[in-house]
Each structure stands twice: as structure tokens, then as C-alpha cells.
């Protein structure tokens, strides 16, 4: 493998210069010019790689997604990443300007360094190194670099549907992933979905004097009573029929979860809590974090909530709920089950307004893609990687992976705990970046041969 490392070393300065150039575009969702600059840069860089490039319109004025395919061979690998970034403010907290990439102590500081220009470019550089070391890529590597990730990828599902044949592959690598706080390389085999809902209920035409409470209905009480039917005292979701759709974790998933180093005491200390829900132990808490659906009151609003007193009977009440979804729950299914659950209890007057929804994605931990990545990580990083069957957060993986018929997706990237993602002084460790290129080369070589050990 030293020949891969040597090849990377040969190109290190140029790769770093390219990275800095890519990071110079202020491709925030509100910056049309910055987005266009970054999109053009990706298009050109893929063309330099000799990729078959297509600029996929997301519709209207939306920033396009760039598709590029390199290599030949029976098998194909899909790569998802994005060229848009979070705004850098508060600007005064940056130690160097966010769009002038600066190296300090072996770290490259700039907005987008890890999220997600680092992942994007590492994969381009990996294809180049592969060719330099072994010759033509023995698989078809399909780059998909979108420009709307930081605003929730509003056009992604439609785009994936339109171009399913183009995007389908034998496996997919997703953005994110990297080193944990004990320097163990970490993969995630999926993400949870989400159903974000607003429940609204109205009472009188306007807020009333609270003296009328004996005769006028109070929507706040009614909403609270309805909400109390959604979970029991043990924190189990009690929406009729919902848990019946939850796929229980497999023995293999539980085995990987048990191997995840998890310090519950430290986490509780960080959060200022004495105990997890139900006083759960670490193992159960972690398994639940990874595999259980959620029903969370994100915010409640009704009546008078300012400083002081105002005796008022509210005319309306509203709650924002999010359900994190695991297989086989979908946003549509959860919304329907919740509607039926409320109707059955007479709460037909509570309106449900779906705000955002995404299906979750979870790859089989025994999928060749995952096993190949584990073997490549073992070889390159020199230790057994940590494998999460799913991330606790949500993302649009399903639309581009399982949704188009790709069997499995895996989160693997250049993150580390000190990266300051979405915050001032975002940075990537350069050693991680170049090591990741080595990992990707090794991974692609094995994946092309379907070599899983």
C-alpha cells in the first residue's frame, strides 16, 4: 500500500492547492454567484478527470446537481456529496477568513472543509490516484454533487426519480463519517427518516377572559390531552399501530451496536442529567438511539407565555412534532396513523400539517459494500473500524440509494470531533484527508472485485 501513499505524496501540494481553490467559493444557499462558481468548478474538475459529465437541473433557478461518471467495469459505485455550505457567521469568530483556506497546525481551515467539499474532492483525488497506481478504474464511479443539501435538498427526490437509471449502482458512499474521539474510524450504515408535523387546534374566534373557562372550551387543554395519548409513562410511542411497522434490529445489527464504544456516564455528565429515559443502561440506550423511532415535542405554543401574568383563555394551540423514522415507517404512514389515532379518540378538530418528510435508509450491515469498507479501513487505518447500523440523525439517503434500487449506502468521510462543522473555524485535518484518499483507493479496488475480506 506504500505505493498508494507514495503517489499521494507526489501530488500532495497540487491536491492541497486545488482544495483551497474549491474552498474559495462562498457557495451558501443565498449566494447565487458562489453556488454557480462552485458548481462550475466541480463540473470542470470532473471533466479534467475525464468523467462523462452531466449538469442535472434541479428545476427553475435551483442550483444544479453535477453528475460525472468515470471508469469501466461490471460494478458501479455511487458517491453522494454537496458543494453548498452553511453561512459562516458569526464572522468575527473566525481566526482566518472563511473563504481563504488557511493551514494551521496541520489543519485546513475554511467553510466547507469537512462539510462537504473535503468529501467531494477526496473522491475525485482518489480516482486520480487509483489511475496513477493501477491504471483505469475497474468500476464505474458515479459522482453526484448537489447544491441544496444545507437547505434540506428540496428537489432531490424528484431529481432521483427522473434519473434513477443514471444514479443506480451496486453501492453508494455518502458524506460524513470519520474519526471518533478515541481516533477510531467510524462508519454509519444509514440514517433515520423524519416526519415533521404541526398540529393545530382552534377554540373561540379570539382569546377570551379566563373567567369564561367554565363555559368556553380551551384548545390548549385539548391539545395537551391529545398529546398525552401519543406516549406512555415508559416513553413508548402509543400511536395506534405505529410500532407494528418498526423492523426489529437484527442479530448482526445488535452485535455491531455492542461493539460501539459508548460512554453513557460522560454523555449524561455533558448533558447535566442523572439518568437516561427509564434509567436505561448504556447498551439499551445506545441500541434505542440507533434503532428506535421517536415522537418528540419540539415546541408548544398557546396563549400567554411572556413574563408576568395575563389571565387569558387561548383561542388556539399549536405543537411542532418530529418523528424520527426507522424502517419500515414512512412520513405518509406516520401521518395517516396519527390522523386515525386522533380521530378514534374524537380529536377530529386537531389539524395535522406535514412540514417536511423523508424516508429513512438502513443498509444491511452484512452487505458486501459495508464488509468491503470494513476490510479496507482495517487495512488502511490499522484498526477495527466502528460500525453504526444507523445514524441517529436524518438525511436524504433513501431517495438516492434504496429509492433508485441501489442495495446499500454507507457514510464514510473526513470528519473528526474537532471539525467545527456548521460553526466558525470549520477545519479538516490534512493527514485525515490524504489518508482518506488512500482508504478510498483501497476500497474501490476491493469493491470492484467484490472482495469483502
Given the C-alpha cell 440523525, which residue does it identify? 393
> Cβ 86 to Zn ion, closest distance in Å?
8
Q: How far apart are CA 393 and CA 325, in angstroms?
A: 10
The β-bridge partners of 10 are none
> Cβ 338 to Zn ion, closest distance in Å?
30
Residue from 28, 69, 84, 116 in contact with Zn ion (CB under 5 A): 116
Q: How far apart are CA 300 and CA 227, in angstroms?
A: 11
> Cβ 422 to Zn ion, closest distance in Å?
9
Nearer to Zn ion, 111 or 288 (CB): 111
> Cβ 394 to Zn ion, closest distance in Å?
12
> Cβ 115 to Zn ion, closest distance in Å?
4
Nearer to Zn ion, 194 or 350 (CB): 194
Residue from 28, 69, 84, 115 in contact with Zn ion (CB under 5 A): 115
The pair phi, psi for residue 173, each rounded to 5°, is -110, 135
Stretch of residues binding Zn ion (CB under 5 A), selected from 32-40, 115-123, 267-275, 395-403: 115-123
Note the residue count of the chain: 453
Strands (E), 83-192: 102-104, 107-109, 140-146, 172-174, 178-179, 185-188, 190-191
Q: Give the x/- contact pattern for Zn ion in 201-220, rule: CB under 5 A.
A: --------------------
CA geometry: angle 283, 288, 289, nearest 5 deg: 100
DSSP state of 238: -
Handedness of CA 273, 274, 275, 278 (dihedral sign): negative
Stretch of residues binding Zn ion (CB under 5 A), selected from 110-118, 178-186, 237-245, 308-316: 110-118
Stretch of residues binding Zn ion (CB under 5 A), selected from 14-22, 112-120, 242-250, 285-293: 112-120
Q: Give the x/- contact pattern for Zn ion in 33-72, rule: CB under 5 A.
A: ----------------------------------------
Query: Quick one: cell of 256?
Result: 455491531
> Cβ 83 to Zn ion, closest distance in Å?
10
Nearer to Zn ion, 115 or 322 (CB): 115
> Cβ 291 to Zn ion, closest distance in Å?
23
- Do residues 72 and 65 make contact, with C-beta atoms less than 8 angstroms apart? no
Is 119 one of the binding residues for Zn ion (CB under 5 A)? no
Look at residues 148, 172, 176 and name the one whose alpha carbon lies nearest to residue 401: 172
Nearer to Zn ion, 116 or 128 (CB): 116
Given the C-alpha cell 418530529, which residue does it identify? 322
Stretch of residues binding Zn ion (CB under 5 A), selected from 52-60, 113-121, 292-300, 310-318: 113-121
Nearer to Zn ion, 120 or 372 (CB): 120
What angle, rounded to 10 degrees, do the helices at 117-134 and 2-22 form?
Answer: 140
Nearer to Zn ion, 186 or 372 (CB): 186
Q: CB count, 10 Å around CB of 223?
A: 23
Nearer to Zn ion, 115 or 432 (CB): 115
- Do residues 203 and 314 make contact, with C-beta atoms less than 8 angstroms apart? yes
The footprint of Zn ion on this chain (CB under 5 A) covers a number of residues equal to: 2
- Do residues 439 and 377 make contact, with C-beta atoms less than 8 angstroms apart? yes
> Cβ 93 to Zn ion, closest distance in Å?
20
Given the C-alpha cell 434541479, which residue does it identify? 58
Name the CA radius of gyration of the chain, rounded.
24
Nearer to Zn ion, 28 or 116 (CB): 116
Nearer to Zn ion, 78 or 347 (CB): 78
> Cβ 132 to Zn ion, closest distance in Å?
28
Strands 386-388 and 185-188: parallel
Q: Is 306 exposed, middle or buried (0-12, 13-18, 19+ CB in 10 A)?
A: exposed
> Cβ 147 to Zn ion, closest distance in Å?
12
The pair phi, psi for residue 410, each rounded to 5°, is -140, 135
Alpha carbon distance, N-terminus to C-terminus of the chain: 16
Stretch of residues binding Zn ion (CB under 5 A), selected from 14-22, 84-92, 116-124, 383-391: 116-124
Q: How far apart are CA 46 and CA 386, in angstroms?
A: 31
Nearer to Zn ion, 159 or 313 (CB): 159
> Cβ 446 to Zn ion, closest distance in Å?
26
Nearer to Zn ion, 219 or 413 (CB): 413
Binding residues for Zn ion (CB under 5 A): 115-116
Amino acid at each position: 500500500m506504500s505505493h498508494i501513499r507514495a503517489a499521494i505524496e507526489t501530488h500532495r501540494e497540487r491536491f492541497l492547492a486545488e482544495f483551497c481553490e474549491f474552498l474559495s467559493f462562498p457557495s451558501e444557499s443565498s449566494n447565487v454567484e458562489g453556488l454557480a462558481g462552485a458548481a462550475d468548478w466541480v463540473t470542470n474538475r470532473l471533466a479534467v478527470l475525464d468523467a462523462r459529465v452531466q449538469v442535472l437541473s434541479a428545476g427553475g433557478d435551483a442550483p444544479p446537481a453535477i453528475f460525472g461518471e468515470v471508469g469501466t467495469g461490471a460494478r458501479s459505485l455511487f458517491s453522494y456529496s454537496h458543494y453548498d455550505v452553511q453561512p459562516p457567521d458569526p464572522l468575527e469568530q473566525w481566526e482566518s477568513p472563511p473563504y481563504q483556506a488557511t493551514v494551521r497546525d496541520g489543519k485546513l481551515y475554511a467553510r466547507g472543509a469537512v462539510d462537504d467539499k473535503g468529501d467531494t474532492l477526496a473522491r475525485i483525488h482518489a480516482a486520480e490516484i487509483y489511475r496513477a497506481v493501477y491504471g483505469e478504474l475497474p468500476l464505474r464511479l458515479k459522482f453526484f454533487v448537489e447544491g441544496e443539501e444545507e437547505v434540506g435538498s428540496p428537489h432531490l427526490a424528484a431529481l432521483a426519480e427522473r434519473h434513477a437509471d443514471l444514479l443506480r449502482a451496486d453501492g453508494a458512499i455518502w458524506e460524513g463519517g470519520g474519526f471518533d474521539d478515541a481516533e477510531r474510524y467510524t462508519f454509519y450504515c444509514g440514517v433515520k427518516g423524519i416526519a415533521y408535523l404541526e398540529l393545530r387546534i382552534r377554540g373561540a374566534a379570539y382569546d377570551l377572559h379566563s373567567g369564561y373557562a367554565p363555559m368556553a372550551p380551551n384548545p390548549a387543554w385539548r391539545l395537551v390531552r391529545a398529546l398525552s395519548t401519543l406516549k406512555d409513562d415508559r416513553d413508548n410511542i402509543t400511536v395506534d399501530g405505529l410500532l407494528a411497522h418498526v423492523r426489529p434490529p437484527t442479530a448482526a445489527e445488535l452485535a455491531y451496536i455492542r461493539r460501539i464504544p459508548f460512554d453513557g456516564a460522560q454523555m449524561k455528565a455533558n448533558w447535566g442529567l442523572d439518568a437516561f429515559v427509564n434509567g436505561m443502561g448504556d447498551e439499551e440506550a445506545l441500541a434505542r438511539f440507533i434503532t428506535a423511532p421517536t415522537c418528540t415535542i419540539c415546541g408548544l405554543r398557546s396563549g400567554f407565555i411572556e413574563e408576568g401574568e395575563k389571565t387569558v383563555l387561548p383561542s388556539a394551540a399549536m405543537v411542532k412534532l418530529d418523528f424520527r423514522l426507522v424502517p419500515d415507517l414512512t412520513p405518509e404512514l406516520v401521518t395517516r396513523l396519527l390522523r386515525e389515532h386522533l380521530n378514534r379518540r374524537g380529536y377530529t378538530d386537531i389539524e395535522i400539517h406535514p412540514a417536511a418528510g423523508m424516508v429513512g435508509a438502513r443498509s444491511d450491515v452484512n452487505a458486501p459494500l459495508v464488509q468491503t469498507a470494513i476490510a479496507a479501513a482495517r487495512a488502511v487505518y490499522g484498526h477495527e473500524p466502528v460500525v453504526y447500523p444507523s445514524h441517529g440523525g436524518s438525511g436524504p439517503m433513501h431517495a438516492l440509494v434504496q429509492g433508485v434500487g441501489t442495495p446499500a449506502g454507507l457514510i464514510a468521510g473526513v470528519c473528526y470531533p474537532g471539525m467545527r462543522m456548521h460553526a466558525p473555524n470549520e477545519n479538516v485535518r490534512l493527514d485525515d484527508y490524504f489518508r482518506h484518499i488512500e482508504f478510498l483507493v483501497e476500497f474501490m479496488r476491493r469493491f470492484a472485485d467484490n472482495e469483502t475480506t
